[in-house]
Amino acid sequence: MSTVLVVDDDAAIRTVVAQALRRSGHDVTVADSLGQLERALAVAIPDVLITDVVLPDGDGIDHVRNVAERHPTLPIIVLSAQNTLTTAVRAAEVGAYEYLPKPFDLDVLSRAVTGALARGGVLSDDRIGDEDRALPLIGRSAAMQDVYRVIARVISNDLTVLISGESGTGKELVARAIHDLGRRSTAPFIAINMAAIPRELIEAELFGHERGAFTGAATRNAGRFEQATGGTLFLDEIGDMPMEAQTRLLRVLQSGEFTSVGGARTIRVDVRILAATNRDLAAQVAAGHFREDLFYRLNVVPVTLPPLRERRQDVALLARHFLDHAAIQGLPRRQLAGDAITALGAYDWPGNVRELENLMRRLAVLARDEIIGADAIHAMLGARMPTSTATDLDLAGAVKALIGRIERENPAALDDGSLYDRVIGEVERPLIELMLARHGQNQLRAARAMGINRNTLRKRLDTLGIDISGDMTELDAAGSR
Ligand SMILES: Nc1ncnc2c1ncn2[C@@H]1O[C@H](COP(=O)(O)OP(=O)(O)OP(=O)(O)O)[C@@H](O)[C@H]1O
């Protein structure tokens, strides 16, 4: 039987985690502080250590470094309510095997323990983190937590990462974070956007050209590959790469060397490749527009940035961040009123984070008052705002329209016993999402504001599958979905 030591100062979490792991057949010991952790380690070294970050007698992550140094083969799983990129990265840097943001899913924890036991070792990394590093990426949604975990896993190696997501979701920012946090950070980060360069010039741009290689090539030019030597090459909009360039890129990735256009010299490359696409690259492979072998070469570690409308709980955080940023740059300092946050949360953000960033800058410059209200947001987004928030909503009309749509698209669904829950869900979902956004994802305050019991809210979140991981006040593991 494998042994697991669980360190958390929250008795509820200790109990829930211990019960779940015992059910999975592990022998579990618990500790509520670093002092108790040390006493437990003095008695026996467990097969897996699970520890919280903030403990009454010190910082769990600093202590993890210390424990990892003394017991290099002990897999350590870090739990944290401080779910930012810095925490994920720090955990990886000090040698944690896995990092799980709170609230976490017990099944995920259980799988992490199984994985840790199977691997039986730590992901070692000798970089020491700068704890005061400014956060390059903002967001506490479950989707962003997944992104942070991938980043934390790839900064200590040179694996190729394929970043997918709609335009403006932060793909380039993720690529830069991987470069800046990794061991190539002092070497160049070179980005090249396939969609922004005429197709016939892409190969010369990437691999450079010799003097006279083609009309207009008056001098020898080092390509982006060469410029990125020792650093990172970010291939943006890779789906727009012409076939011939794809073939050449594949050869470079396979052999680690290339020749410039019109050149006879062979150039060896030491470059980390990160690629991004806002298209479905797998579909492009299926359609014959992208080489399958190149796709697999690039898609070693996939990471997907979901559109902002699918992580609405990050909108308020991002909006405040951009206003703060504008103020630091000398623009007037602005704040968002509660109804402004509600309005921002209701919008679909087709341009994703970039659109939100631009709107906040415009508001910082143009808004009349220091406090920005919903009226200013509506005035800026105007016709693009959903009519439901721009004008008084005819709820009855919307319900009738919904039933009409169901009747047209799937008439059987009108009589299969699911209609009541479905219609109520359609009304309830935006209501709950907006109120959570308005109250900073605090369930207790949102429930109170709506006049419902907090447990009722919890149940509805569960039933509707609404993501609540951004809630900083709900840290009990049992409450995770
Ligand atoms: N999570 C985030 N936190 C803070 N800023 C963000 C975040 N995501 C995106 N941004 C900002 O939004 C803008 C757009 O991001 P970025 O250029 O990385 O998107 P992209 O997905 O690469 O877009 P495109 O596909 O159009 O090139 C940038 O100014 C970036 O700084």
Is ipTM beyond 0.95?
A: yes
User: Would the CATH topology of 3-133 be identical to that of 155-305?
Assistant: yes
Q: Which CATH class is domain 3-133?
A: alpha beta
Give the pLDDT confidence of 187-234 residue by residue, as tens digits.
999 999 998 888 888 888 898 877 766 666 667 678 899 899 999 999
Contact at 8 Å (CB) between 85 and 151?
Answer: yes
- What is the architecture, at CATH level 2, of domain 155-305? 3-Layer(aba) Sandwich (3.40)
Q: How far apart are CA 40 and CA 29, in angstroms?
A: 8
Instruction: Quote the ligand 1 centre to 479 CA distance (angstroms).
Output: 32
* Confidence class for position 421, pLDDT limits 50, 70, 90: confident
Cα of 240 vs centre of ligand 1, distance in Å, is 19
Find the 416 Cα to ligand 1 centroid distance in Å: 44
**Which residue type does 438 have?**
R
For the chain, domain boundaries: 3-133, 155-305, 309-390, 395-479
- For 395-479, CATH gives 1.10.10.60
Q: Ligand 1 atom 7: the closest Cα is on which residue?
A: 170
| 178 CB burial (10 A radius; 0-12, 13-18, 19+) | buried
The Cα 48–Cα 341 span in angstroms is 43
Q: Is the model's pTM score more than 0.90? A: no
Total Cβ atoms within 10 A of residue 405: 10
Give the CA angle between residues 210, 213, 215 to the nearest 5°: 130
What is 309-390's CATH number?
1.10.8.60
What integer pLDDT is reported at residue 230 of this predicted model? 94
Give the mutation target among 150, 173, 193 for probing the ligand 1 site: most ligand atoms within 8 A of CB: 173
- What is the biggest distance separating any 2 CA atoms in the chain, rounded to whole angstroms? 76
Read off φ and ψ for residue 152, nearest 5 degrees: -60, -30
Label residues 60-99 b or e (16+ Cβ within 10 Å = b).
bbebbbebbeebeebbbbbbbbebbbbbbbbbbbbbbbbb
The DSSP 8-state label assigned to residue 268 in this structure reads E
Residues 22-48, buried b or exposed e (16+ Cβ, 10 A)? Answer: eebebebbbbbbbebbeebbeeeebbb
Q: What is the pLDDT of residues 303-355, one digit of tens each?
A: 999 999 999 888 988 999 899 889 888 888 898 888 888 889 888 999 999 99
Encoding tokens for residue 275? 């690629």
Nearest residue by C-alpha to atom 25 in ligand 1: 167
Q: What is the residue whose two structure tokens read 């009349």?
A: 368
Atom 16 (ligand 1) nearest CA? 170
Given a contact cutoff of 8 angstroms between Cβ atoms, the answer to whether 334 and 373 are in contact is no
Ligand 1 neighbours, Cβ below 6 Å, are: 137-139, 165, 167-173, 236, 278, 318, 353-354, 357
Measured in Å, residue 136 CA sits from the centre of ligand 1 at 10
| Strand order through the sheet with 189-193 | 189-193, 232-236, 272-277, 161-165, 301-305
CA of 106 to the centre of ligand 1 (A): 32
> How far is the C-alpha of 414 from the C-alpha of 138, rounded, in Å?
42
Q: Which atom of ligand 1 is nearest to the CA of 165?
A: 21
